[in-house]
Amino acid sequence: MREDELQAKFAGISVFEKDGYRAPHKPLLILLAIGRAIRNQPRLAYYSDLEEPLAGLLHDFGRPAATVHPEYPFWWLQTDQVWQVESDGPMEPRKGHRDPKRSELLLKHARGGFSGEIYDYLSANPQRAAAIAKDVLERNFPNSLWDDVLSAAGIPADDNVVTGSRRGSAFRRLVLEAYRFECCICGLKLQIGMTAFGVEAAHIKWHQAGGPEVVPNGLTLCLIHHKAFDRGAISLTGDCRVIVSKALHGDSSYEDLFGRFHDSGLRLPRDRTDWPEANFVEWHRTEVFRD
């Protein structure tokens, strides 16, 4: 199998999309399985062994939800012609559905993994596997999260994988200018010569979910607040005040970095037309914020 054929297969994975709803279940399973292939672990893994690490990925990097369902991507990734499931006999489907119940996956010792051809290629070419992982990341997550997702999926990170694309350089410049080159939460403003340092332009509604490259969909955030925003540790209210997730906790630095900013107003652009748009803020609170 050629690399371009394999990349095309993974690029064609069907992911549920509707009104910006995030459903990275299949991409996270793919990354977990790529990590297994790179480490030369067995091609097929019991669902019982994949359930906990996949649930962890879904909990940390998926859409905020009270419960997660790793059994869904384990079964439905078969429809994309890259994944196989075997079991000790037929499995009873859920009522009114075609996929089996979680209890059936466990009872019938269901085993899943990439097809033999795909697994052999990935395990024999770890650098190519890492490049495919980067493609999956770029389609589903902002690059502030890439190294965290890779680490959680068991994929060794290197500069070639975690370096972000150059997409959005005009967006970055416009957002930084509108927010006067300072973090709109804590006010950090640093420069090396004439270049802003330590602050970044963050998307409110992720590019991967259809968020546009316009200033009302942007914030200027320092490195720590950018990652916290993309991880859902912080978000905004409709009137542009900071909210901190109750799930976030830490040592004495918590109050300095986060606690004191809860319910504080953003340092907003002078031009009101550059202020965050309500629909983008609502998307972030619904799809990313972990309350």
Torsion of CA 232, 151, 63, 45, to 10 degrees: -160
Please state, in angstroms and rounded to a whole number, the distance separating the CA atoms of residues 165 and 94.
42
* Domain boundary, last residue among 162, 184, 218: 162
**140 and 184 assigned to the same domain:** no
**152 and 119 assigned to the same domain:** yes
How do the pLDDT tens digits run along the chain, 291 residues long? 788 888 899 999 998 877 788 899 999 999 999 999 999 999 999 999 999 999 999 999 999 988 999 999 999 999 999 999 999 999 999 999 999 999 999 999 999 999 999 999 999 999 999 999 999 999 999 999 999 999 999 998 764 554 555 456 799 999 999 999 999 999 999 988 877 889 999 999 999 999 999 999 999 999 999 999 999 999 999 999 999 999 999 998 999 999 999 999 999 999 999 999 999 999 999 999 998
How many domains does the chain fold into?
2
Q: β-pairing, 199-203 with 45-46? A: unpaired
* Domain boundary, last residue among 162, 192, 216: 162
* Domain boundary, last residue among 162, 177, 200: 162
Residue among 35, 6, 13 nearest 121 (CA):
6
CB atoms within 10 A of CB 157: 15
**101 and 37 assigned to the same domain:** yes
Task: Identify residue 180 by its one-letter amino acid code.
Answer: R
For residue 141, give the DSSP letter. S
Q: Identify whether the C-beta of residue 16 lies closer than 8 Å to the C-beta of residue 72.
A: no
**121 and 198 assigned to the same domain:** no
**Which two tokens mark 178?**
């509108």
Name the residue range of residue 240's domain: 169-287
**149 and 251 assigned to the same domain:** no
* Strand ranges of the sheet holding 83-86, from the earlier edge strand across to the other edge: 45-46, 111-114, 83-86
pTM: 0.89
158 class by beta-carbon count within 10 Å (0-12 exposed, 13-18 middle, 19+ buried): exposed
**47 and 137 assigned to the same domain:** yes
**93 and 174 assigned to the same domain:** no
